[in-house]
């Protein structure tokens, strides 16, 4: 049974890691292209989850439709946040100004959610259903949520990679991430490209929120905070700015968290996650797939 329980923990870890990876993509893309950390990203997840919950409970919508609406809502919210909060600071010269603004936006979103939905924990009805699927001749039960989460993550990664490699907008993103000034001279709409990045990241945040709340069915205005921080850790872990890095970082983080909860201690699991990050950064400061950046003097 030891092997089976290990396998079961491992699959749960990959599933949780898939959610972290989807959130980490939002961080990584925005950082890679706009060179800023959007710390309000975790709260966009929470808003997306509330939109799904409201659409399903108050309006009795089909789960897929509710998720679609949440993705559209969060995409627009991401563009709005970027336009109102970050765009005016783009040439501020100080990355600190943007960082403090991002933390401000995060608190703003949490408090808006508090005002609208209240502080009480809402139970989130799983969008995917609670069906268990027997694997390995029935010895291993895996929930449908877990399978859908892992598949969603893989599909999102593949689609995103193809989008960046094959489309004009994707190429514009690569150009802006290399050199904003040069991209502008080449006739690329830098503001539009950065807005698009926020839009994609925030749309993915809505999907991540739904998957997270389907696996851990409780929702409060602070639900997005911890997964947001952990996904940021996953992005740094994998090498911030690298899309495959976000994927690897997210999966590793989820596996480490679930295994340390299972075999070491539930209370210490978060501490272990951050300790592993510190060790990785001591050994390889740019993260697992991070590129060493040559500073021009």
Radius of gyration over alpha carbons of the chain, in Å? 19
The pLDDT of residue 281: 87
Q: What percent of the chain has pLDDT over 90?
A: 66
Element (H, E) at 137: none
The pLDDT of residue 294: 52
Task: Please give the Cα distance from 22 to 231 (Å, whole number).
Answer: 8
100-127 confidence digits (pLDDT tens): 999 999 999 999 999 999 989 988 877 8
Is the pTM higher than 0.85? The answer reads yes
Strands (E), the chain: 122-123, 132-135, 140-143, 218-219
52-63 confidence digits (pLDDT tens): 999 998 888 898
62-99 confidence digits (pLDDT tens): 989 999 999 999 999 999 999 999 999 887 767 788 88
274-288 confidence digits (pLDDT tens): 998 899 889 888 888
Listed residue (5, 2, 8, 11) closest to 251, CA to CA: 11
The pLDDT of residue 112: 96
Which range, of 6-20, 161-175, 275-289, averages the lowest pLDDT?
275-289
In the chain the first and final C-alpha atoms are separated, in Å, by 59
Contact yes or no for 68/52 (Cβ under 8 A): no
Task: Please give the Cα distance from 72 to 76 (Å, whole number).
Answer: 6
- Strand pairing partners for 218? 123
Question: Residue 150: helix, strand or coil by DSSP?
Answer: helix
The pLDDT of residue 150: 95
| Residue 292 pLDDT class (50, 70, 90 cuts) | low
Hey, where are the domains in the chain?
19-224
Across all residues in the chain, what is the average pLDDT? 90
Whether 291 has a pLDDT exceeding 90, the answer reads no
| Residue 195 pLDDT class (50, 70, 90 cuts) | very high
The pLDDT of residue 297: 47
List all residues 6 or more positions away from 128 whose beta carbon is below 8 Å from its beta carbon.
63, 144, 145, 148, 214
């Amino acid at each position: 049974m030891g092997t089976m329980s290990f396998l079961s923990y491992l699959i749960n870890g990959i599933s949780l890691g898939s959610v972290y990876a989807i959130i980490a993509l939002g961080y990584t893309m925005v950082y890679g292209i706009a060179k800023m950390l959007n710390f309000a990203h975790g709260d966009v997840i929470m808003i997306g989850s509330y939109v799904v919950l409201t659409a399903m409970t108050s309006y009795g919508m089909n789960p897929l439709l509710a998720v679609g609406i949440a993705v559209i809502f969060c995409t627009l919210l991401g563009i709005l946040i970027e336009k109102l909060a970050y765009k005016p600071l783009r040439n501020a010269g100080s990355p600190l100004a943007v960082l403090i603004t991002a933390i401000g936006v995060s608190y703003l979103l949490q408090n808006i959610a508090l005002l609208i939905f209240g502080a009480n924990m809402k139970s989130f009805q799983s969008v995917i259903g609670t069906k268990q699927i027997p694997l390995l001749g029935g010895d291993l039960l895996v929930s449908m949520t877990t399978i859908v989460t892992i598949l969603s993550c893989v599909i999102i990664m593949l689609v995103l990679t193809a989008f960046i490699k094959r489309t004009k907008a994707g190429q514009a993103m690569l150009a802006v991430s290399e050199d904003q000034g040069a991209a502008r001279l080449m006739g690329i709409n830098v503001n539009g490209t950065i807005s698009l990045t926020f839009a994609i990241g925030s749309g993915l945040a809505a999907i991540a929120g739904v998957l997270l709340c389907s696996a851990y069915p409780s929702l409060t205005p602070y639900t997005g905070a911890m997964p947001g921080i952990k996904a940021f850790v996953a992005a740094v872990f994998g090498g911030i700015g690298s899309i495959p890095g976000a994927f690897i970082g997210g999966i590793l983080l989820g596996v480490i968290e679930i295994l340390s909860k299972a075999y070491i201690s539930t209370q210490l699991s978060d501490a272990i996650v951050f300790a592993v990050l510190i060790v990785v950064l001591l050994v390889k400061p740019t993260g697992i797939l991070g590129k060493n950046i040559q500073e021009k003097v």
